[in-house]
Structure 1
Amino acid sequence: MSAPMAAASVGLAELGFVEAAPAWRLRSEQFPSKVGGRPAWLGAAGLPGPARLACALCGRPLAFLLQLYAPLPGRADAFHRGLFLFCCRTPPCCAGLRVFRNQLPRRNDFYAYEPPSEDPPPETGESVYVDNFLGEAPEEELDSMAKHESREDRIFRKFKTKISLEPEQILRYGRGLAPIWISGENSPQEKDIPDCPCGAKRIFEFQVMPHLLNYLKADSLGRSVDWGVLAIFTCAESCGLGTGYTEEFVWKQDLTDAP
């Protein structure tokens, strides 16, 4: 399965959703944000090799999870910018995660200076379709949890209330904002987020929501892949990389940490 992500803004955060789209929209030259399938790499030079695309915990090859097209306004060297997230799907591990960033100026060796055409190529009529989302807990269940709740209960209820406004969201984007956690346990402190090798701090950029798991269970990744929140932190300076890919940082908060 391979499907694009649509976007909608809520306050300062931008939400991502999975929707059906023709296959040509998922090609690299269309600069897609998408879930599953194969990565539509941005720059074709300096691609991560097998060693970088292996699980840091078990050593097995990682599976492509999603990519996000996230250019930085006002940055000529990041006119095109993509983030590529991979996860381990091999039991009993299923825990390794790696994310890579690539950015290009508008004038580069791979793409035309002008934006891509909005017209489909004449040879394609293929479309990609996805399953429906499962429903979220009804509002009355959230209200019933408010009585005699612990701090952990309050954090979990706040998370559920927040996402119930748009229950089909699979991603929240807000570079420099704060993520919303599903649990009070295993949420990182500043010291837990390693600095970029360039010396700059890493800041929160986006988080993957547990609702995406509904799609993965219909895909080839299997039922053992699981999380509560995946929070991606990237270089605050989005440091220059030439045409290569640099690894950023993922913090995984498990569902088992929530009540």
Structure 2
Amino acid sequence: MAAAPAVELGFVQETESLRLLSPHFPSKAGGRPAWLGEVGVPGPESLQCGLCLKPLAFLLQVYAPCPGSFHRTLFLFCCRSPQCHRVGETGCFKVFRNQLPRKNDTYSYDPPPEVLPSDGSGSPSFKLKCGLSLCRVCGCLGPKQCSKCHKVSYCSKEHQLLDWKAQHKKLCSEQQDLSNAALPDHNFLFPEYEIVTEPEELESDSENDDDEEQPGVDKAADGLMSGEASLSDNLTSDVKDLEAMARHESTDDVVFNLFKKRIAAEPDQVLRYCRGGEPLWMSAQNVPAANDIPDCQCGAKRVFEFQVMPQLLNHLKVDSLGESIDWAILAVFTCINNCNAEKDYLVEFLWKQDVVDSAV
């Protein structure tokens, strides 16, 4: 039997902002996207919420090279409006994949320098090398310009208005040099962090007395975590056996307890990366079957690549007494053949599992 793919855990940490720019190929959460390729960058129409049609905010990106792609990054965007994050709704998320060969027109063939520039040459830029402008608010493509000064670009009228109220009204009228102006807080971006990864270390079964007393729990856990069970059909049959053998727990109790046990050693993890593996679900509800995952546009199947954990919400400052951005698991599935994304940002698939009453 083949061993289950290794899992890499992701954690957020603060770092120098220059390390999170494109030439350093970062994995990061929040702030503005560090675009990889400059060809095919998604425009405003592609980065609209499918529900409210407002511009999506950059949530995170994962630098994930794989065979055939020397540089490869996955980008995840989401809507800032809590009202769009309804149970069962995924139209407020977008996932893109982009990749480049080692020899390309944008980056050096050699690794990026370890020492950051001290002369300001590494400051964030709102213009790509190819000449395209980026939105001053969100960092996405900005086809619109200020009609008065023609010096700043925006993705939408909404973001132009945000910047006008926050700063540009004053700078534009005074004809100041915008290149040296500090960026205001538009209250749109999520807080920015680097995502660092490390291998997941699992305890040996022999070290856990509780596991030895409950072989049924072990068997179900192995199936859920290693991929021996399918995404939903096999889960149901495994749990039926488990209910008869173990503690007569509900299906959700079993899955949630397995979830808690798995993350207990590293409770601060915000991301789990395991291309070709299986997601770690929080609940037995709303788990996709194989036919729920659509094929790639090239016709190939998609496989699980990474999941965003609910712990990331603690760092995004989105809590509120009313409606709030929320999820249990965001699972991203990508083309198994890693089809050509060197001249485009290809859309991939996201499955959202919501928090249910039993998963608390």
When the two structures are superposed, what TM-score results if normalisation uses the length of structure 1?
0.83
Aligned ranges for residues 75-90 of structure 1 at < 5 Å? 75=68, 78-90=69-81
The percent of aligned pairs where both chains have the same amino acid is 57
The question of 1:181 aligning with 2:175 is answered no
Write the distance in 2 (CA, Å) between the matches of 1:112 and 1:89. Answer: 35
Q: Which residue of 1 aligns with 2:34?
A: 40
Verify the 8 A CA contact 1:209 1:230 in the aligned structure 2: yes
Which of these residues, 94, 99, 103, is aligned with residue 103 of structure 1?
A: 99
Which of these residues, 317, 340, 348, is aligned with residue 240 of structure 1?
A: 340
Give SS of 1:43's match. coil
Which of these residues, 66, 69, 86, is aligned with residue 63 of structure 2?
A: 69
The aligned length equals: 230
Give SS of 2:297's match. coil
Q: Which residue of 2 aligns with 1:141?
A: none
Give SS of 1:194's match. coil
1:242 partner letter: E
Which of these residues, 8, 18, 34, is aligned with residue 14 of structure 1?
A: 8
Q: Which residue of 1 aligns with 2:186?
A: none
Residue 258 of structure 1, CA deviation: 4.2
Which of these residues, 244, 260, 263, is aligned with residue 163 of structure 1?
A: 263
When the two structures are superposed, what TM-score results if normalisation uses the length of structure 2?
0.60
Write the distance in 2 (CA, Å) between the matches of 1:214 and 1:257. Answer: 19
Residue 101 of structure 1, CA deviation: 0.2
- Change beyond 3 A, Cα 1:11–1:176: closer
Verify the 8 A CA contact 1:106 1:113 in the aligned structure 2: yes
What are the Cα deviations for residues 42-86 of structure 1, in whole angstroms up to 9, with x where unaligned?
0011110111101123322111100000001x31xx100000001
Verify the 8 A CA contact 1:183 1:257 in the aligned structure 2: no
Give SS of 1:212's match. helix
2:109 partner letter: Y
What are the Cα deviations for residues 119-157 of structure 1, in whole angstroms up to 9, with x where unaligned?
11113699x987xxxxxxxxxxxxxxx955212101001
- Change beyond 3 A, Cα 1:201–1:11: closer
The question of 1:192 aligning with 2:292 is answered yes
The question of 1:122 aligning with 2:118 is answered yes
Verify the 8 A CA contact 2:37 2:342 in the aligned structure 1: no
> Any unmatched runs of 5+ in structure 2?
124-190, 194-245
Which of these residues, 39, 47, 52, is aligned with residue 46 of structure 2?
A: 52
Verify the 8 A CA contact 2:5 2:274 in the aligned structure 1: no
> Any unmatched runs of 5+ in structure 1?
1-9, 131-145
- Change beyond 3 A, Cα 1:58–1:218: closer
Which of these residues, 21, 28, 43, is aligned with residue 27 of structure 1?
A: 21
- Change beyond 3 A, Cα 1:100–1:11: closer
Give SS of 2:255's match. helix
Write the distance in 1 (CA, Å) between the matches of 2:112 and 2:281. Answer: 37
Q: Which residue of 2 aligns with 1:3?
A: none
- Change beyond 3 A, Cα 1:67–1:121: same
Residue 243 of structure 1, CA deviation: 2.2
Q: Which residue of 1 aligns with 2:326?
A: 226
Verify the 8 A CA contact 1:186 1:257 in the aligned structure 2: no
Q: Which residue of 1 aligns with 2:188?
A: none
Name the structure where helix makes up a greater proportion of residues.
2
- Change beyond 3 A, Cα 1:42–1:216: same
Give SS of 2:60's match. strand
Write the distance in 2 (CA, Å) between the matches of 1:223 and 1:12. Answer: 36
- Following TM superposition, where does structure 1 have runs of at least 4 consecutive aligned residues deviating by more than 6 angstroms? none
Residue 177 of structure 1, CA deviation: 0.2
Question: Larger Rg: 1 or 2?
Answer: 2
What are the Cα deviations for residues 22-49 of structure 1, in whole angstroms up to 9, with x where unaligned?
1110000000000000000000111101
User: How much is the aligned-residue C-alpha RMSD, in angstroms?
Assistant: 2.5
Write the distance in 2 (CA, Å) between the matches of 1:117 and 1:165. Answer: 34
